[in-house]
Amino acid sequence: MTERLLNNIEYNYKTICENIAKAAQRSGRKYEDITFLAATKTVEAEYINYAISLGLNHIGENRVQELLSKYESYDLENTKLHMIGHLQTNKVRQIVDKVDMIESVDSLKLAKEISLQSEKRNISTDVLIEVNIGGEESKSGISPDELDELICQISELPAIKVQGLMTIPPICENKQKIFGYFENMRKLFIDISSKKIDNISMNVLSMGMSDDYVEAIESGATLVRIGSALFGARNYNI
C-alpha cells in the first residue's frame, strides 16, 4: 500500500461525503438519508478496508469470482456487501449467503433461483430490480414496460424481498439528459410504491455513479454507487 494512494482515498472520501451532504440538503434530505456505496471492482481489499476505516459502510462488487476471491479479506463487521453486477443464474448459490443485497435482478428466472437458494439456507434475500431506463440493447436490466409484471411475479416468491430499483443510465455528456433518465426512474419508483403490492417495498432507489451522483441524489436517489471518484481510475473497465 502506498501512502499517496491512501491519502488520495481519504481526501476523495471526505469530498464525496461533503458533496452527498450538500446534494441531500438540496433535495430536502439529510446526509444520513443517502447510502454511499463504494463500487470496489478491481480494487484490492487493503484499499477497500482503508475506506471502511474512514467510515464507509457499504461496498459493492460486480463479479462473483472477484467477490469470492476477496471475500475473506473484507472487513465486513460493520459493512454491508452488495452484488451490483450482472449475475448469472448458475452462480447465485455461490454468493447468496454472503451478500446483503443483490442489486441486479432483471428476470423472473434469476429471482426464482435467488428465492430457491435462499430458502435452502433458511434466509430471505433483499434485492433491487435493475431497470434498463435508456432502453439500450447492450445493457442488462428489465425494460420499464415489463417492470410491473416482473415485480408482481417476484412478489409471489417466498424467500426474496424486493426493496427497490437500480439503474445504470446511458453514458451521456449532457447533464439535462441524465436528469431526464433519473427523473423517469423516480417516477417508476413512486408509481410502484403507490401500488402497495404485498411483499414489495420501495425503500431503495440506487442510481448515480462517480460522474453523476450529485444529479442522482437531486433526483431522489437513496443509494449511490461510486468507484473511480473514490479509488481513482481503474486499469480496465468492466
Ligand X SMILES: *Cc1c(COP(=O)(O)O)cnc(C)c1O
Catalog residues that contact ligand X under the rule CB under 6 A.
39, 41, 62, 84-85, 168, 209-210, 225-229, 238
Residue closer to ligand X, measured from CB, 29 or 139: 139
Residue closer to ligand X, measured from CB, 202 or 216: 216
Dmax over CA atoms of the chain, in Å, equals 51
On whether the CB atoms of residues 225 and 209 are closer than 8 A, the answer is yes
Minimum CB–partner distance for residue 161 and ligand X (Å): 20
Could you give the CA distance from residue 228 to residue 1 in angstroms, rounded to a whole number? 17
Minimum CB–partner distance for residue 61 and ligand X (Å): 9
Could you give the CA distance from residue 183 to residue 166 in angstroms, rounded to a whole number? 13
DSSP letter, residue 83: E
Minimum CB–partner distance for residue 152 and ligand X (Å): 25
Residue closer to ligand X, measured from CB, 91 or 124: 91
C-alpha cell at 5: 494512494
Minimum CB–partner distance for residue 193 and ligand X (Å): 23
Residue closer to ligand X, measured from CB, 64 or 168: 168
C-alpha cell at 3: 501512502
Residue closer to ligand X, measured from CB, 108 or 209: 209
Could you give the CA distance from residue 56 to residue 63 in angstroms, rounded to a whole number? 21
Residue closer to ligand X, measured from CB, 160 or 230: 230
Q: Which residues contact 230 (CB under 8 A, 6 or more apart)?
A: 9, 12, 13, 16, 38, 51, 210
Minimum CB–partner distance for residue 79 and ligand X (Å): 17
Question: What is the four-CA torsion angle of 181, 183, 188, 189, rounded to 10 degrees?
Answer: 120
Residue closer to ligand X, measured from CB, 29 or 63: 63
Minimum CB–partner distance for residue 112 and ligand X (Å): 22
Q: Which residues contact 54 (CB under 8 A, 6 or more apart)?
A: 9, 10, 13, 14
Minimum CB–partner distance for residue 139 and ligand X (Å): 10
φ/ψ of 119, rounded to 5, equals: -60, -45
State the residue number with the nearest CB to ligand X: 227
